[in-house]
Structure formats: C-alpha cells, structure tokens
A = this chain, B = another copy of it.
C-alpha cells in the first residue's frame, strides 16, 4: 500500500471540487491506496507539509464540498523548478507517496508533466495524473473541459439578463468575458439568444483580429437595425499583429507561467466604452466586466458539467491504479452520433500540457463577430437548459 497526494492548481471553477471528490471516493474504494493527503494550495502544500486528511470527511461532507464552488484545498499558480521537484520527491518519500493527482488547466498539466518526467529522471517511483479543469475550455486533447460548462452557463445567463436590461434603457452595453487565448466562454454568450432581436448582437473573440475602427462600425450598424446593441468581448481580444488590446492598460503583473493579468480589472471595458463615445454619436455606452463571478458564482453550475467533473476525477484514479499509463491525464472525448455521450480516456500527460487550443474555424461566423450553428450544437448539451425569458410583442407603428 502506498499513499496518495491530490491537489488543485490554477484558477478555481464551480466544479473543480467535484473532480477532487470523484478522485477521493475512487481512491477510498481501492485497497492499494493508503493515506489520502490533500495538499493545500497545490505544490506549495507539498513543499510546506500542509495537508488535509481526506480519509476523514464523511460522504455527506464530501458531497457538500463537491457542490461548493472554488478550490476547497486552496490553489496556487506555480511552475515547479528542478529544486521544487527534488523537494517534492523528498516530501513524498517521507510520506510514502506513490500516487500524485493534480487538478488544473494546461499550466497545471505542464506542472504535472514536469513533476512526472523529473520523477522518472531521478528514479522516484511515482504514478502522476493530471485531472482536467479550466473554464477556458482550451485543453487541446479534450472535446471540452470540466468547469467550462458551468462558467458558460453563468455567462449565458448573465448575457440574457443584461440583454433584457439593455432592451429597457437602450444604448450600447459591452460585457467583458474571461478567456485569455480561447474564445469559447465569450462565444457561449450566444446561448442567451431566445427571442427575436435578442443580444449579444456582436461577439468578439481572441481568434479574430480586433480593430477599434471595425468595432465602432459594427456597433453603429447594429444600432441602426436594433436601436440598441449588446456586445460580448473576450478579455483576450488582440489586434492584427496578435498584440492583446489589454496590453494598452494592463498593469503588467505576470504570473510564474508568464501570463499577463487580464481579470480583476475593468480597464478593457472602460477603454472600449470611451472609444465608442468618441468615435460615434452614441451617448449611452456602458461596460461591465464579469470577472471572477464567472468561475465562482454559487447555484448556477451545469448539471452535466458537475457529473463530468466528478467522473474525470474518478477516471484518473482508476487509470492510475490500472497502471497502463503512469504519467497521465484524462481526456474527455465526445462520441459521434445524435445523442450526447462522452468517454473519459487516459492519455499521456503531455497531451494536455502547456499548449492551449483555440476555437476551431467552423465555430466562428464568417463575419468574424459571431458564432456558427455548429458551435451552438456543440455547446448546448454541456451548458444545459437556461431560464426562459418572455417579452411583449411590440405592435408595428401604423
């Protein structure tokens, strides 16, 4: 019997605790796993000997944790150095740890890859699995990632409400949505459309070059047609040279993976609103930045996302115990066919690490500022049904 360490890393999500609980419950079923240590704040907890005993909580308590947003073990953004790895293996040795599970996005997958490869190089016997999580939906080996469906659900609901608000008072409303490199979350705003004339009327993604001139023209065209305009903008939009628009205002803060701070500031929305007021004759322009609510708001998680996140955690433990792949990750694969069915496939951890994916071309409308029906069919089952909205039919002026 060897012991196991599990930890969470990167940005929290509404369902990352489902993956934690899925893995813990699967581990509890095995006779080959001894102690189950939850390292607090990712690899920092291993380095600081800061653990929670995950054999202790009752099933009811674990279910309550699973239903709670954010990372119950705490999180970290830290790329392990060679020294970190050696310290980790010493800590693992002291605690007789043979299984390590790391829940997170592509940077966390890369951290798991570094630890796994280093363990092999240093001769430390470790079965190491990354468990996928990212609201950005940008792991290149997954049809979609746990966390995305719930964040997308928040975004779609927020846009739905905000579009109704804009119907009431008019003008232009700009909503800034998370997604550093991939536009999936911003694209999900299109699910808000239900009634004729519903926004978002324009959707700007990092996958297409953004120009301030084009933006003003697009908005003016919608204003002419609809008398109002709701715009969904990815925080990661960039110009024709690939330079993020946000670099014009960001405070330059970067994490250890070299990522610029985009969230936790309203600067991009304010910049776009100010530009519109200057470049057009539109007087009422407002901007909101959805911020961290997208990944943490309680009570709106997608049911499918919750189930899949839990299943991904369980699948990682099962695959680790099966032992076919010892440096692994779990890919979510959608089966072809009419019904929505997914499989959880163990793969080498390298498949998820570091390089993120973008929205494929067939998800993006030809005009560059909308999504396609192909994307809507892709995203609907992941997000689930949304609250319906009713509007009065407006009589035509005689």
Contacts and interface: CB of A to CB of B under 8 A. Distances in A.
Interface in A58-85: 61, 64-65, 67-77
Contacts of A381: none
A160 B283 CA distance: 35
A46 to B, nearest CB: 15
B292 A12 contact: no
A105 to B, nearest CB: 14
Contacts of A295: 165
A394 to B, nearest CB: 7
A167 B168 CA distance: 37
A12 B266 contact: no
A71 to B, nearest CB: 4
Interface in A19-76: 38, 40-41, 50-53, 57, 61, 64-65, 67-76
Nearest to A397: B50
A73 B297 contact: no
A160 B70 CA distance: 10
Interface in A383-397: 386-395, 397
Q: How large is the interface on A (under 10, 10 to 19, 20 to 34, 35 or more residues)?
A: 35 or more
A270 interface: yes
A161 B158 CA distance: 15
A298 B168 contact: no
Contacts of A393: 52
Contact of A265 (B164, B266, B392): B266
Contacts of A390: 61, 64-65, 67-68, 72
A70 B166 CA distance: 9
Contacts of A290: 293
A288 interface: yes
A318 interface: no
A270 to B, nearest CB: 5
Contacts of A168: 8, 12, 41, 70-71, 74-75
B296 A40 contact: no
Interface in A297-340: 297-300
A174 B269 CA distance: 17
Contact of A288 (B70, B71, B264, B389): B264
B70 A164 contact: yes
A201 interface: no
A212 to B, nearest CB: 18
Interface of A: 8, 11-12, 14, 38, 40-41, 50-53, 57, 61, 64-65, 67-77, 157-158, 160-162, 164-165, 167-169, 173, 251, 253, 263-267, 269-270, 273-274, 277, 283, 285-293, 295-300, 386-395, 397
20 contacts: A11-B169, A50-B397, A61-B390, A64-B388, A68-B164, A72-B390, A74-B169, A161-B292, A161-B296, A164-B296, A265-B266, A265-B269, A265-B286, A265-B287, A266-B289, A288-B289, A288-B291, A289-B291, A298-B386, A299-B387
Given A53-B395, A264-B288, A286-B292, 18 more contacts: A12-B165, A65-B390, A70-B161, A70-B168, A72-B390, A72-B391, A77-B169, A162-B292, A162-B293, A264-B273, A264-B286, A264-B287, A265-B266, A266-B269, A266-B287, A266-B288, A288-B293, A289-B291
Q: Which 9 A-B pairs have the closest CB atoms?
A: A266-B266, A264-B286, A288-B291, A161-B296, A64-B390, A70-B164, A71-B168, A165-B296, A75-B168
